[in-house]
Structure 1
């Protein structure tokens, strides 16, 4: 307001302006509720005072190791206390957290370590073998710290691997100061984390979050999830996925309890909900399927209603009814890695409960309206950059604008410029705007398949299939999947005189990429093409529904 009376002698100063950071959420919770249980993991109970002190120890130990402002610390961890500590201790050291998808193969992990310029790696021994392989491929030589989970079950389906570094996590943080004066960001625009997203071509892009957005997401998640004081949150969503939709930072706003869960299994979920009084959890449609399809012996009764936040494809009406009967209230969210996870919520109106099944289901299928921390979300014509009519029919691209949109793509100015063209973030998702301002997705222009909450690039799968000697052409599309939400379905055209089976194609893909990315269905057919030879994926999507 320069040039007005409100711009004279009213400058920012340390007393009235501080950079926003989610690290302050934990500091406050530890000061106000030091003895409240912050983390439950197996037999472990950790208070907020201990959570805060251990995070500061980690920050201090990293600083002693020469890691500080702007350095990248990679972690490959399950949903364990160490992962929660990393979300706070790494940025407390001024560093940037790179949380690696634990389902990735060594080649992709090596790319992320090199591209993100990792100075240190903290790795759970469950993933030590793939990390060891990745480090051999990587050009960088980071400090390696092993995390040996004391509550790792003896009857685990995946035995612990051998330690691959010279340091053990508990020994490492023991050398840190629990009273360490951690670093506030110099600017709230400073990076707090780095997340890699599946691209449609080439290597994945590194999405950079800032402290301001992560802090605002804490408040916005509390509002969207209806969290009161001391919520109890079950970790079914991987914390590597968009930093767990920012919930590792969110819980401290209301001094909630994190209930850690290494593997998402029906019995473990029901036991946690019943024994710890879980009030909230997040997950893909596959988690709902696990809960509803669990054996009766695995299910438990519980008195509370549990809020279940789900993203990706909207759940069918039958699933929503089943979840309600089982004691869950489903909240439908939508977002991308580039928007810190969920940035749109299907805000439900009480009067809609009186509608008949089909009408109610139609409203439930919509993605919704902007998060409280997002300035705007709309549907626009990407050519003219004008909003489409709010008629529920005119197709356009969903676009975002606000403080919970990423800083940009790491070391990729051209992709960043393209994503922000015209002053909006272009999601690549196609949708419509309804008269009441609710958006609804209709297609994914990026051809990304969302399976079990994980993004799979159709082009990456196609590239793998093309490497089979019998394949002439291939196209991969999303097939609706009751368990996973979507799964890759491959349509394959064979070379003349060549033969292959579906099992052979799938086995071939498994030698080239992570198993969850491989097609679950293979159809041999002549691919439908336009007059210019372009494969008509919209035709294949319809065929995939029947395959």
Structure 2
């Protein structure tokens, strides 16, 4: 057989190939825009030259303590400059950053530190009481603990539990660390623990290539200009901030840190720093649209908002649009580096009536630019469902922005990636135009009398009631029907709580009767740090004693 002429004398060498890694973004930006503001945090300001220098100092300090390729550096921190620097510093020496959820209890933190074999823990003093208990549970004396003392924090600093503070620690490192890109772009860059509803969380591992590609895809899909000003309403620990620490470095933008996410702080940041972009779950959008007059600040520029985590109710999208925010709907999971699907907007859709626009915008969408495959399939046969917008299947992903796998969990990894696709566990439909729309998590579908009821559909109907701030619908055991829908409702502040009868009557006017909740419970809904309602806690309330 004749050899392929393109395989001869055209080898991959250092001159024509470099592994992809998002740490290259900060190096380029620091060299190109050294004096442009990189980070704003309260009274603090840093330039890109300074953030690059501090990240290299962090890398050098870690290296000086014997940390290197494949070692885990855990971080328990809020949205602060130190947390931002951790997106780059550990990776510069081949270490793996593990950003911990600040809402975890001591038991869960101890599990993550043990399972991830953390060698260093950088921890904000706000979380010292919980972290101290977690560290004591480890019963080991080789963990290097460093305190992050936030000078802009709005809390009373607790006792220091580390051997030194972050500033003193990075001062141990030299600012001109000659770091190199990873030898292999498949090397791990970060470890993110999923917030499991039962059992211990799973450790999702990202590689440099995926982080690089998704960071760029964020910018391309969202039409982010150079020097965008990005407000950190999204926790940086959540899927590494959906890869946006690396995105903002790529576009030489400005990071505006936000330690407390509330309506007043969001509007203040938009007005004072000319914020152009922010991300968040629908609960963040609810804060914005329900802000009081005293919380609001006037601004005269457009603000783009990316939302995910849970499908936003149509009324939320409509009110955001009416208040001047341009909302882009995305979808993804921890296992897909955050957003990997985007509701790409067609210009002609802007001519549609507002209710039709919102229907279009409420769909999850099409693949990110760097996601190779997106399908809705029957998991038993791995065959795509017909693109009719009605036939449900499981949403599946394929490509460079799917995780390496679950740390130390070969069996679960194999099951999740079976058949050449990542199985999301989300149920959805494929529309004729190729747009995916979620209908529910497989575990959240309510089967009542043999009929499937989408909790998302019922929640969307409830959101149209003027008193409803947030709702969650779960299955309640029923002797006759097997399961029936039960609605938990969080009422807007300053609004009278409607009666159960009023809410049930409202549902009957907006839903097929068999889909209507059989019970209504008014309460504050339990949520994760990213605003997702913890439905497993609601289901637990309904179990018989």
User: How far is the alpha carbon of 1:486 from its aligned partner?
Assistant: 5.4
User: How far is the alpha carbon of 1:362 from its aligned partner?
Assistant: 2.5
Distance in 2 (CA, whole Å) between partners of 1:521 and 1:384 is 31
User: How far is the alpha carbon of 1:418 from its aligned partner?
Assistant: 0.5
SS of 2:121's equivalent in the other structure is strand
Distance in 2 (CA, whole Å) between partners of 1:178 and 1:346 is 42
Deviates more, 1:515-524 or 1:237-246: 515-524
1:366 aligns with 2:367: no
Distance in 2 (CA, whole Å) between partners of 1:208 and 1:423 is 18
Match of 1:339 in 2: 336
Match of 1:30 in 2: 30
Match of 1:375 in 2: 372
Distance in 2 (CA, whole Å) between partners of 1:212 and 1:524 is 44
Q: What are structure 1's unaligned runs of at least 5 residues?
A: 450-476, 494-501, 528-547
1:272 corresponds, among 269, 272, 282, to: 269
User: How far is the alpha carbon of 1:521 from its aligned partner?
Assistant: 8.9
Answer yes or no: is the 8 Å Cα contact 2:207–2:403 preserved in 1: yes
User: How far is the alpha carbon of 1:334 from its aligned partner?
Assistant: 0.2
Q: Deviations over 1:234-285 (max 9, x none)?
A: 0000011000000011101110000000010111111110111100000011
Answer yes or no: is the 8 Å Cα contact 2:99–2:237 preserved in 1: yes
1:18 aligns with 2:18: yes
Scaled by the length of structure 1, what TM-score is found? 0.83
Match of 2:126 in 1: 126
Scaled by the length of structure 2, what TM-score is found? 0.83
Alignment of 1:147-546 (within 5 A): 147-153=148-154, 156=155, 159-447=156-444, 480=459, 487=472, 491=476, 517=534, 519=537
Distance in 2 (CA, whole Å) between partners of 1:212 and 1:147 is 29
SS of 2:86's equivalent in the other structure is helix
- Gap change, CA 1:448 and 1:145, over 3 Å in 2: farther
User: How far is the alpha carbon of 1:226 from its aligned partner?
Assistant: 1.3
Distance in 2 (CA, whole Å) between partners of 1:2 and 1:115 is 51
Match of 2:86 in 1: 86
Match of 1:6 in 2: 6
Answer yes or no: is the 8 Å Cα contact 1:74–1:121 preserved in 2: yes
Q: What are structure 2's unaligned runs of at least 5 residues?
A: 447-454, 479-487, 489-521
4+ long deviations beyond 3 Å: 446-449, 477-493, 515-527
- Gap change, CA 1:438 and 1:489, over 3 Å in 2: closer
Match of 2:96 in 1: 96
Answer yes or no: is the 8 Å Cα contact 1:284–1:485 preserved in 2: no
Match of 1:70 in 2: 70
Answer yes or no: is the 8 Å Cα contact 1:280–1:306 preserved in 2: yes
Deviates more, 1:330-339 or 1:440-449: 440-449
Answer yes or no: is the 8 Å Cα contact 1:489–1:522 preserved in 2: no
How many residue pairs align between the two structures?
A: 483
Alignment of 1:28-67 (within 5 A): 28-67=28-67
User: How far is the alpha carbon of 1:446 from its aligned partner?
Assistant: 4.2
Answer yes or no: is the 8 Å Cα contact 2:343–2:361 preserved in 1: yes
User: How far is the alpha carbon of 1:361 from its aligned partner?
Assistant: 3.0
Answer yes or no: is the 8 Å Cα contact 1:316–1:361 preserved in 2: no
Distance in 2 (CA, whole Å) between partners of 1:124 and 1:179 is 26
Root-mean-square deviation over aligned CA pairs: 2.9
User: How far is the alpha carbon of 1:9 from its aligned partner?
Assistant: 0.5
SS of 1:394's equivalent in the other structure is coil
Match of 1:463 in 2: none
- Gap change, CA 1:200 and 1:421, over 3 Å in 2: farther
Distance in 2 (CA, whole Å) between partners of 1:354 and 1:304 is 22
- Gap change, CA 1:48 and 1:520, over 3 Å in 2: same
